[in-house]
Amino acid sequence: MDLVRLNAKVYRSKTGVYTEIPVLLTEYGVIDSFVEFFLDHSHRRGRSWMEKHITAIKLFLNFLEVNFQIINTPKKLFKVFVQQ
């Protein structure tokens, strides 16, 4: 799976005010759950915090793609990822 990290301007109303956040784009589109997560935390957290999360998410998704067939449960997949 190809993942591309982009900066997105998210407009939540018609006032012209936007929030700029990092997003991950896949061949299926932007990962919406992370957009919502970052929007919920954008007023309390800084840009570097979001960048660290994007990096971790990207690493985890790449790990899942390679290892999902050899590790049989989601819990074990995450445990192995965290321990490496």
Low-confidence ranges of the chain (pLDDT < 50): none
**Sheet arrangement for strand 18-26:** 4-11, 18-26, 29-30
Ramachandran bin of 29, using left for φ above 0, alpha for ψ from -120 to 50, beta for the remaining angles: left
Q: Percentage of the chain surpassing pLDDT 70?
A: 100
Within 13 A of 56's CA, how many CA atoms are on the CB side?
Answer: 11
Q: How many CB atoms lie within 10 A of CB 73?
A: 8
In the chain, domain spans: 4-83
Give me 17's structure tokens. Answer: 């005010």
The residue to which tokens 């784009």 are assigned: 25
pTM: 0.81
Decide: 61 and 3 in contact? Cβ < 8 Å: yes
